[in-house]
Amino acid sequence: MFRDRTDAGRKLADLLTERGVETDIVLAVPRGGLPVARPVADALDVPLDVIVAAKVGAPQNPELAIGAVASDGSFWENDDIVERLGVSEEYVEQAREQKAAQARAKLEQYRGTDEPPDIDGKRVVVVDDGLATGATTIAALRQVRKSGAKRVVLAVPVGSPDSVERLRAEADEVVCVETPLQFAAVGQFYDSFEQVSDERAREYLDG
């Protein structure tokens, strides 16, 4: 479906332009969101910055998201999974604090400060390379809302139909190039879906 993240970003930029989306800033979810967001920011002729969130994993199964937290502590909890696994409130709170600290450290790594960009009163487009569960994206969008954004648009090249639908409640608009019915993982829709290093991802911020 997409050659790589840059190709996906160009197609996403085309769709945003076609939809007439106007924005003051593009915020990428690092690391994979940055190569996608660069062509979007260039096409819309606005600055590119980052919004950082981290997945909160289940006990004994860190890959299973029981929630996600942004660098400012904005939190989304997957109540169904927490209840089904019987995860304690103490574990959730401890993991949340730990992951929020990691998100702040990553934000500082990218911005030189753990302060997020000033988006109060601004129109914001949040970009990632795809939506699987959407956990970290929800936490990121909640931070954007809490930071006083005037309008929030989520833009992704590909997403599972369920996640795209769920995220509509978190943003003013969701723009997605493709929502395939058969969805296993984001990477299956890219010819090249290599891991993006922090060093390489930071280069996209410089244009």
Q: Where is 50: in which H helix or E strand?
A: strand 48-50
| CATH number for region 5-51+117-202 | 3.40.50.2020
The DSSP secondary structure of 113-131, one letter per residue, reads: SSSPP--TT-EEEEE-S-B
Q: Which pLDDT belongs to residue 93?
A: 96
Q: Mark 146-163 as b/e (b = at least 16 C-beta within 10 Å).
A: ebebebbbbbbbbbbeeb
| Residues carrying CATH 3.30.1310.20, the chain | 54-111
Q: Which pLDDT belongs to residue 63?
A: 87
Cβ pair 131, 160 in contact under 8 A: yes
Q: Mark 86-97 as b/e (b = at least 16 C-beta within 10 Å).
A: ebeeebbeebbe
Distance CA 185, CA 131 (A): 9
Give the C-alpha distances (Å, rounded to integers) separating 116 from 3, 33, 70, 88, 194. Answer: 31, 16, 10, 30, 27
Q: What is the pLDDT of residues 57-114, one digit of tens each?
A: 999 899 899 999 999 999 999 999 999 999 999 999 999 999 999 999 999 999 999 9
Q: Which pLDDT belongs to residue 105?
A: 97
Per CATH, domain 54-111 is 3.40.640.10: no
> Is residue 206 over pLDDT 90?
no
> Is residue 207 over pLDDT 90?
no
Structure-block tokens of residue 54: 């981290």
Give the three-state DSSP class for 108. Answer: helix
Q: What is the pLDDT of residues 146-196, one digit of tens each?
A: 999 999 999 999 999 999 999 999 999 999 999 999 999 999 999 999 999
Cβ pair 38, 13 in contact under 8 A: no
| Residues carrying CATH 3.40.50.2020, the chain | 5-51+117-202
